[in-house]
A = this chain, B = another copy of it.
Amino acid sequence: MPKPGPGLRLIDVAQRAGVSIATASRALAGREGVSEEVANRVRQVSRELGYVANPFARTLAGGASPTVGLIVHQVDDPYFSEIAGGVIQLADEQNLLVQICHSGRDPDHELRQIRNLIAQRVGVIIVAGSGYGDPHAEALAKEVLAGYQDTGGRVAVIGRHALGTDAVLPDNEAGGRALTAHLIDLGHRRIAVVAGTPGLNTVIDRLAGVAAALRDAGLSLADMPVVHTDFVREGGRVATEKILRDHPEVTAIVALNDAMAMGVLATLRERGIDVPGRMSVVGFDDVSVAADLAPSLTTIRLPMTDMGRMALELALKPKAGRPRRRATGHQLIVRDSTGPVL
């Protein structure tokens, strides 16, 4: 690894401002014990010189690294990249650095990444993305994170409970309910669900919402085809083919995320099945392209960018006695992929 040379040091700033480095440090950190006048002079000089503190020295001396570690399943998935965008936004504002790690939807790899971040002494860890089915892996992650928090680390998770940490929770159940109620209002009674990998929290919660809405209408999820496939586009295709083959009576498909919905739409288009004339389709998340699909997708909007911000916000607050939970709102966005039963 190359080794960049020395940069501007605090002592340079201190000398130029005619103070000791102790004073300079206090002034820049905004701590008290420095007169307004001197503090301003130091800050002024610092700005002129373009001084940026060496984070390594700072961390070594002071304790905490001004870095937030962000673990996502996959950055090049719009759901996660929008969340990451939110985290980075707020981190930028707070002058924090962001380290992004992929978990690749693999609990082992995720755990390794968490350990890694802890070893890096990051001050904050944010884990985005649904939990995995495996209770053992989940327990292990929880334990590691608990240890980290005991030594003062802060953790927030997005879309995941049971990790014993502050959490930002998308309104998965209510969203699933709203989506399904919308279809029922349109007259649909035979609704198939394209669900993701069975164990994922997200899938379970959204499915619960679907079930609740059906129940409200005197229907039962048990009577509807529910197909579990991978929680990505391709999974949507596979599930759709199965549904078309085995359940021709279906008039609406609920895909539990937009990626799957895209797979559903692609398959229907190839088969020449009219949407929404013959089949209504809904997704979940409202990733930014949802509006550009054809037909544009009816879905539940989650405020992904805000979710990222909120998670970091939570993590930056002092630890509360018990884990905080922050529910995100959700919003039913009706577009062209849903219509009345003909």
User: Given A1-B123, A4-B123 in contact, is the A88-B60 Cβ separation under 8 Å?
Assistant: no
Closest chain B residue to A269, Cβ basis? B294
Using a CB–CB distance below 8 Å, which chain A residues touch chain B?
1-8, 50, 52-57, 59-60, 62-67, 74-78, 81-82, 84-85, 88-89, 92, 96-102, 115-116, 118-124, 148, 150-154, 233, 262, 265-266, 269, 288-289, 291-295, 305, 316, 319
A101 and B115 contacting across the interface, CB-CB below 8 Å: no
Give the docked Cα–Cα distance between A52 and B92 (Å): 28
State which of B115, B124, B150 has its C-beta within 8 Å of the C-beta of A52.
B115
Q: Collect the chain B residues with CB atoms within 8 Å of residue A75's CB.
A: 75, 81, 84-85, 88
Residue among A99, A120, A123, A293 with the highest chain B CB neighbour number at 10 A: A120
Q: Collect the chain B residues with CB atoms within 8 Å of residue A288's CB.
A: 76
Q: Collect the chain B residues with CB atoms within 8 Å of residue A305's CB.
A: 76
Residue among A6, A65, A74, A121 with the highest chain B CB neighbour number at 10 A: A121
This chain's copy number in the assembly: 2
Residue among A67, A76, A102, A262 with the highest chain B CB neighbour number at 10 A: A76
Closest chain B residue to A95, Cβ basis? B116
Nearest Cβ distance between residue A281 and chain B, in whole angstroms? Answer: 13
A-side interface mostly: mixed
Closest chain B residue to A292, Cβ basis? B262
Can you name 8 extra interface pairs (CB under 8 A) apart from A1-B66, A4-B123, A97-B99?
A1-B65, A2-B124, A4-B122, A5-B150, A56-B57, A56-B60, A89-B102, A92-B102
Q: Collect the chain B residues with CB atoms within 8 Å of residue A66's CB.
A: 1
B64 and A2 contacting across the interface, CB-CB below 8 Å: yes
State which of B4, B76, B85 has its C-beta within 8 Å of the C-beta of A153.
B4
B121 and A56 contacting across the interface, CB-CB below 8 Å: yes
The 5 closest A-B pairs by CB, nearest first: A294-B294, A5-B151, A52-B119, A3-B63, A76-B85
Nearest Cβ distance between residue A7 and chain B, in whole angstroms? Answer: 6
B101 and A88 contacting across the interface, CB-CB below 8 Å: yes
Give the docked Cα–Cα distance between A287 and B65 (Å): 35
Q: Return 16 A-B CB contacts under 8 Å, by A number.
A: A1-B96, A3-B62, A3-B123, A4-B63, A4-B152, A52-B116, A53-B119, A75-B88, A76-B81, A78-B78, A92-B101, A98-B101, A233-B292, A262-B292, A289-B293, A293-B294
Closest chain B residue to A80, Cβ basis? B81
